[in-house]
Amino acid sequence: MTVEKNWQEILTPDEYAVLREGGTETPWTGELIEEKRQGKYRCRACDAVLFASDTKFDSHCGWPSFYAPLAKDTVKYLEDNSLGERPRVEVRCANCDSHLGHVFHGEGYETPTDDRFCINSICMTFDEE
């Protein structure tokens, strides 16, 4: 049995499409967009802690947004040329290599980093503190 077959047994088809195939959920449909409680956001595939609620902010883009990961080594970055224009930066879980979303810099948000980690809700679970 291949590793990808294992992921297909663990994840729903929608989760698999985003986490393992690099898809994107439809904006404004994710369950964590309006989440305001204190807690941690974990990778839905491997349960690694990725983001903390104190770095989440309202960017009004249709997906949960964070200005920084929990720690620098919790995510990894890949250049994404899939749209054929200026490269984007893909964000992946450093533990299991699942696609999470993208990070954008310099958009003018009043956050400590001026970064927007635009993360698919379907890629995460939430643990309230």
Catalytic residues: 118
Q: How far is 66 from 101, CA to CA, in rounded Å?
A: 11
Q: How far apart are CA 63 and CA 56, in angstroms?
A: 11
Give, in degrees to the nearest 5, the angle at Cα 33 between 37 and 78. 110
Q: How far apart are the C-alpha atoms of 110 and 81, rounded to whole Å? A: 27
What are the C-alpha distances in Å from 63 to residues 4, 12, 84, 90?
A: 26, 19, 22, 15
